[in-house]
Amino acid sequence: MTNLESLILAFSLSLDAMAVSLALSAGGHLRTTRAKFRIVFHFGLFQFLMPVAGWAIGTRIEPFIASSDRWIAAGLLAFVAVRMIRSAYGPLDTREANDPSRGWTLVTLATATSIDALAVGLGLAALRISVWYPSVVIGLITLLLSTIAILLGQRAGSQLGKRGQIVGGIVLLLVALKIIIVHN
């Protein structure tokens, strides 16, 4: 796999993580530097690990997960999106308590945005291509683009206020819908 192919692959795989980062930031969910770091770090880490896991698993279970991976990813994103939209209408202290950069919400988001990378790892194994270089590039590009998205989301969020959470939830729902449509 060439450097250019790795970059194109990394960019395309990182778009979901970028959209989620933008939505979370615009929605005002990432208030501290620590929360922002946790999001970008875990998105980059999961995008690095999923191709490695897919490659390690190889083609043994690919037929079993290929038919349902899009539904799992879309369902996880939709779940978080509904929580974001609902929290926009809750009291302020409830919104602040729902930190998506912690616990199961963080794992859910990182998994949902990196399911495609698992399939890429399976494909690399089938093609007998080493997974290490593309995985590192995928992880780093995801980290970089998620950071940029958070910075852009902060600007948008300060202008949108409470509506930013609703817009962020809608963006997550659109990403979930895109996953279902593209993979059909």
Lowest mean pLDDT among 2-6, 83-87, 152-156: 83-87
Average pLDDT on 6-22 reads 88
Residue 21 has pLDDT above 80, yes or no: yes
Residue 93 has pLDDT above 60, yes or no: no
Give residue 1's pLDDT band: very low, low, confident or very high (50, 70, 90).
confident
CB-CB contact of 153 with 50 (8 Å): no
Give the residue among 52, 62, 53, 50 at the shortest CA–CA distance from 17: 50
Give residue 143's pLDDT band: very low, low, confident or very high (50, 70, 90).
very high
Give the residue among 45, 26, 24, 46 at the shortest CA–CA distance from 35: 24
Residue 44 has pLDDT above 80, yes or no: yes
| pLDDT score, position 92 | 52
Percent helix, strand and coil across the chain, each to the nearest 5: 80, 0, 20
Taking only the tens place, the pLDDT of each residue in 61-79 is 666 666 676 777 777 778 7
| pLDDT score, position 72 | 74
d(CA 143, CA 152): 14
d(CA 23, CA 112): 14
Give residue 94's pLDDT band: very low, low, confident or very high (50, 70, 90).
very low
Average pLDDT on 8-23 reads 88
> Percentage of the chain with pLDDT > 90?
28
CB-CB contact of 24 with 30 (8 Å): yes
User: Cα torsion at 110, 33, 79, 169 (round to 10°)?
Assistant: -120
Residue 28 has pLDDT above 50, yes or no: yes
| pLDDT score, position 95 | 46
d(CA 3, CA 167): 36
User: Which of residues 91 and 128 earns the better pLDDT score?
Assistant: 128
- Please report, for the chain, how many H helices and E strands are present, in that order: 9, 0
Q: In this structure, what token pair is assigned to residue 25?
A: 């930031």
Residue 22 has pLDDT above 60, yes or no: yes
